[in-house]
A and B are shown apart, each in its own frame.
Chain A
């Protein structure tokens, strides 16, 4: 009897330890499986690039040259020598600020217009053809008009962001609202929910996944548009930084800026996805 409990007592901690080891191993294996392939792919791509651009007559710098050329910019993104001579952080920050303002305006206006044309079939018939035409206008084509209207670079850039991002938000929100099942509307009618109650308790939660699809497309497009718009309007901003580097033939700086633009765009997309996940909560589990 005593011997039996003895063995149990000694067995217990080792058993727990035995469970812990495979768990840790599984976790590590999982982490490696997720991070290793992209790292290897990246290394291969950079390697090919290095091989292609290593020669003396290459028109573009190899990755090693990009790093040595721009080490100043990489190591110190926060310097500010006044004017447009600032660290990359400040350029990105200026671009993000424009996107934040333009995109926020687009989100508010897009959701409201989307609700309008989703809810009222008269408004849908009236506005949808106009929206379908306007949304095909390329973002930069709006720039001359907005420069003429605002007579100022910054509001023009913000307007371009707005007009680029607003269409997918409107159209996706409208689709979401039109997709609300008749059953949910009937539930609301039987309960006699008031307009605001219907909006917050049924329409909004039922439409959130569609809305965020629009917002996600919208933020991607705004980030595309801001770089192009800033090339034209000048001032501080990552688009202007690229244009300025081009004019000074600083290829390495352009490449570095492109990497930053890509990473920031990716993070913006993930940010919206993350917010969508938090807001739709239980619905996202289905």
Chain B
């Protein structure tokens, strides 16, 4: 039985002049369909590199990524990315930003009316149907990220890749978006890989948390199962022993076993 998505011995080296720097080494991970995976680690450990390799935006130097047994060698809408700083196109409205991807992916399979319908449906999924005619600079940071999620979801990806999607948002907005994401996840059952450096976010959202060691030559240090039942509610979880245990495990990994050594 093959995994839905598998990373096999993924390694990444950069050669600049005579110096060879190894960023990633032997990253191996199997992910099932519908799983929500978080990748957590200190900054600079190569989390984003892993995500970009799965996205196809970077080619790994050793090993490979298989999605439904096909090798990933270029970017594509089946692995839609939610970028950290939303990257909405400022000259397009909220609607047109989402529609651009919809037209590209479903241009041949859906009629114009169906694509319009589908764009609106994805925008209402992230509660942004009230602002479809607005331009990105007219809406808040949280709203932009919602539109970014809608754009990715509207491409109906096999795997949704999120690169610290809520990193730039304030705590309250972040909580709102996490709740929205859980709600969407319950409805659609997407396979998700999310990069984060927020321990609570990782425990709250994930089925499994992948913890990465510090670079150079970073790799997976530990994979933690989060056996919390869904739907999860943040208020009830605060005192849940399983939640507290998982949270403690991640914190111990990050701050005891793989403490980030600050460059002095």
Give me the interface of A with B, judged by CB distance under 8 Å.
181, 183-184, 186-187, 189-193, 197, 201-202, 205-206, 280-283, 285-286
Of all chain A residues, the one with the shortest Cβ separation from B148 is A187
Q: In the complex the two chains form, what is the Cα distance from A134 to B56 in whole Å?
A: 41
A184 touches B57 (CB 8 A): no
B77 touches A192 (CB 8 A): yes
The smallest beta-carbon distance between B15 and chain A, in angstroms, is 18
B89 touches A186 (CB 8 A): no
Interface residues on B, range: 20 to 34
Which of B76, B81, B90 contacts A283, CB < 8 Å? B90
Interface residue SS majority, chain A: helix
Q: Is B220 an interface residue (CB 8 A)?
A: no
A191 touches B155 (CB 8 A): yes
**Chain B residues whose C-beta falls within 8 Å of the C-beta of A186 in the assembled complex:** 57, 75, 81, 83, 87
The smallest beta-carbon distance between A240 and chain B, in angstroms, is 44
The smallest beta-carbon distance between A118 and chain B, in angstroms, is 18
The smallest beta-carbon distance between A230 and chain B, in angstroms, is 40
Q: In the complex the two chains form, what is the Cα distance from A158 to B89 in whole Å?
A: 39
The smallest beta-carbon distance between B102 and chain A, in angstroms, is 10
A205 touches B91 (CB 8 A): yes
Q: In the complex the two chains form, what is the Cα distance from A286 to B136 in whole Å?
A: 10
B135 touches A183 (CB 8 A): no
**Chain B residues whose C-beta falls within 8 Å of the C-beta of A190 in the assembled complex:** 55, 57, 75-77, 79-81, 155
Which of A191, A202, A280 contacts B101, CB < 8 Å? A191
Do A205 and B83 contact each other (CB < 8 Å), given the known contacts A186-B75, A191-B100, A191-B104?
no
**Chain B residues whose C-beta falls within 8 Å of the C-beta of A187 in the assembled complex:** 83, 87, 89
Of all chain A residues, the one with the shortest Cβ separation from B81 is A190
Q: Is B85 an interface residue (CB 8 A)?
A: yes
Q: In the complex the two chains form, what is the Cα distance from A282 to B90 in whole Å?
A: 8
